[in-house]
A and B are shown apart, each in its own frame.
Chain A
Amino acid sequence: MSRTRQLIAALRDELGSGDPLPPAPPLPPIPAPPARVYTPRPEPSAFAAQAARHTTALVGIGHVGTRYATDVVLQFQAELAVAHAAVGAELPEGWAEQQGFIGVRSRVTSHREFLLRPDLGRRLDEDSLAVVRSRARKPVDVQLVVADGLSAVACLQTGKLLHDLVARECAARGLSVGTPIAARFARVWLEDEIGQETQAKVAMILLGERPGLGTGDGLSAYVVYDPRIGKTDGDRNMISNIHPRGIPPDEAAARLAALAAAMIEQRVSGVTLDLGRLGEVTGGRGYRAPQVRQKLVGERGERGERGER
């Protein structure tokens, strides 16, 4: 009963009104504000529902009034946290040597400087330059560089695997592959200096890409013909989203080797490279399996299970 009704009913009793009031109509159940549950409406368009299943983009996520549903917001926050964590991660010292790479680093001295000064991340420091000059094989057809880029997490997970796969594919095509090099605090253009020093025909850097929502583990590969300091992004070809939910590493390796072979054959790279002559191996516009968004935040029941683990 409302407070005003209670007050006036009490006053009525006090004034000594004998006859009882008629019973108040029953109140409907009133849920406490945040406990209100909106059932998702079924997507009326079958095409839209099907399309939403084929992407991990935030489409077809519904709404509650003018806002997102709570589970969508929580998932968004969790994915953003994954991305932040990936950017904040660093490649451990000595990782390169443990994995059988020559370890080099850019002119960057700290992780913070790495994020703030892309220009320093594009050049080798003095010691690394000496190491590359003294220990790397030259001349070579393809020089591979594994690097942390903006996601050391991705580099740690699949960097070594992708490097080995690409090296094998290149060798299978009869291309000589340079000494494996792993770089810390590296930006894409670092491949120019390393490739220049090893007199490589093609330089290829495999590095963690800028994390998107829910993909902190994606690698990108940038390939350039005739690497020299001063090459621009227009001179490069690249493959992105190399991770289990995007392009799997073995498929990416085949495409990258084909790309390198085409560059050596055509003697160009970047926008002038004729990709039409590469054929099916670079991946056409064929069928793409549905992508499943990885659920980071579960329903109430699932969360309990997660907590037990």
Chain B
Amino acid sequence: MILEPILPTVLSVRRLRNADPALVVAYGGDPASHTSLGLVTCDQDDALYVALDEATKHSPVDVIFARSFYAGAAHASGRLSGEILGVLAAAEPDAIEAGLEALLRCLAHDACFYDADGKRTVTVFPHVISSLGEYLAREAGLAVGTPMAYLVAPPLEATIALDAALKAAEVRAVRLTPPPTQTNFACAWLTGTLDACEAAAVAYAAAVVEVAGTPRG
């Protein structure tokens, strides 16, 4: 079915209540303030990036590590690998718990890819973040609380759709990642007012659906 949500599958959720400092350093954390870790793997990398950001809004956690795996979930290194590993870090196990709760809620009810051709062979991620958390705000170089459209689609679809999105509303490109990303998609982060971000995301999704339906049009 066209534009049906494709829910992300959480493949593993584990905690390290008192991680070894060497490990924390290797994964980009600060052993002085990061003692507890929460580790999540998921089969949709972009949904998890959004969910990690959501966690920073609900709990005093930092996202110290989040990396996509090459070629995506279909070519994962193992049953539990999916296409991303995200690591939350905090001074307290309780903070990790609260962060994971928000993260899993976001994955279950908010961030997800959508089916663009009715056969799930073309997918699109036209996500609107109404208020950026600390993690994506830092990654995007924007202020915490700014609206942002997080747009992902396969290479050609993404190119056509990005053009449509930029023309659909008063949005500004924050970061454009041409194909291939690590998972062989293309990604765009746009910012503007919340209304503009929403209009851009809808135009993006509509364009991907249109290209998926008429690839030689």
What is A's interface to B at a CB cutoff of 8 Å?
A: 1-5, 7-12, 15, 17, 19, 21-22, 24-25, 27-28, 30, 33, 64-66
Q: Quick check: A19 and B60 within 8 Å, CB to CB?
A: no
CB distance from B23 to the nearest CB of A (A): 21
For A27, list chain B residues within 8 Å (CB).
109
CB distance from B44 to the nearest CB of A (A): 14
In the complex, what distance in Å separates the CA atom of A33 from the CA atom of B101?
Answer: 13
CB distance from B104 to the nearest CB of A (A): 10
Q: Quick check: A7 and B4 within 8 Å, CB to CB?
A: no
Chain B contact-residue range equals: 20 to 34
Q: Quick check: A25 and B110 within 8 Å, CB to CB?
A: no
For B105, list chain A residues within 8 Å (CB).
28, 30
Say yes or no: A15-B3 contact (C-beta < 8 A), given A8-B114, A28-B105, A66-B60.
Answer: yes
Q: Quick check: A19 and B1 within 8 Å, CB to CB?
A: yes
For B206, list chain A residues within 8 Å (CB).
11, 15
Q: Quick check: B110 and A11 within 8 Å, CB to CB?
A: no
B192 CB-CB contact with A under 8 Å: no
For A11, list chain B residues within 8 Å (CB).
3, 202, 205-206
Q: Which residue of B lies closest to A1 (CB)?
A: B109
In the complex, what distance in Å separates the CA atom of A17 from the CA atom of B94?
Answer: 44
B2 CB-CB contact with A under 8 Å: yes
Q: Which 8 A-B pairs have the closest CB atoms?
A: A2-B110, A12-B3, A65-B94, A17-B2, A66-B92, A4-B127, A4-B128, A11-B202
For residues 184 through 217 of chain B, which have their beta carbon under 8 Å from a beta carbon of chain A? 198, 201-202, 205-206, 209
Interface of A, helix, strand, loop or mixed by DSSP: loop
Q: Quick check: A3 and B198 within 8 Å, CB to CB?
A: yes
B10 CB-CB contact with A under 8 Å: no
Q: Quick check: A8 and B1 within 8 Å, CB to CB?
A: no
CB distance from B124 to the nearest CB of A (A): 9
For B5, list chain A residues within 8 Å (CB).
5, 8, 21
For B201, list chain A residues within 8 Å (CB).
4, 7
Q: Quick check: B128 and A3 within 8 Å, CB to CB?
A: yes
**What per-residue 1/0 map shows which CB atoms of B45-84 lie under 8 Å from chain A?**
0000000000000111000000000000000000000000
Say yes or no: A4-B98 contact (C-beta < 8 A), given A11-B205, A21-B4, A66-B92.
Answer: no
Q: Which residue of B lies closest to A16 (CB)?
A: B2
Say yes or no: A65-B110 contact (C-beta < 8 A), given A5-B5, A12-B3.
Answer: no
Besides A2-B110, A7-B202, A65-B98, 16 new A-B residue pairs in contact (Cβ under 8 A), listed by A number: A2-B111, A3-B128, A3-B198, A4-B128, A7-B205, A8-B202, A11-B202, A11-B205, A15-B3, A17-B1, A17-B2, A24-B109, A30-B105, A64-B94, A65-B59, A65-B94
In the complex, what distance in Å separates the CA atom of A3 from the CA atom of B129?
Answer: 9
In the complex, what distance in Å separates the CA atom of A64 from the CA atom of B94?
Answer: 8
In the complex, what distance in Å separates the CA atom of A64 from the CA atom of B97?
Answer: 12
Q: Which of B2, B60, B91, B111 contacts A12 (CB 8 A)?
A: B2
CB distance from A30 to the nearest CB of B (A): 7
Q: Which of B95, B98, B109, B128 contacts A25 (CB 8 A)?
A: B109
In the complex, what distance in Å separates the CA atom of A309 from the CA atom of B86?
Answer: 55
CB distance from B5 to the nearest CB of A (A): 6
For A24, list chain B residues within 8 Å (CB).
109
Q: Quick check: A4 and B4 within 8 Å, CB to CB?
A: no
Q: Which residue of A lies closest to B5 (CB)?
A: A5
CB distance from A34 to the nearest CB of B (A): 13
For B1, list chain A residues within 8 Å (CB).
17, 19, 21
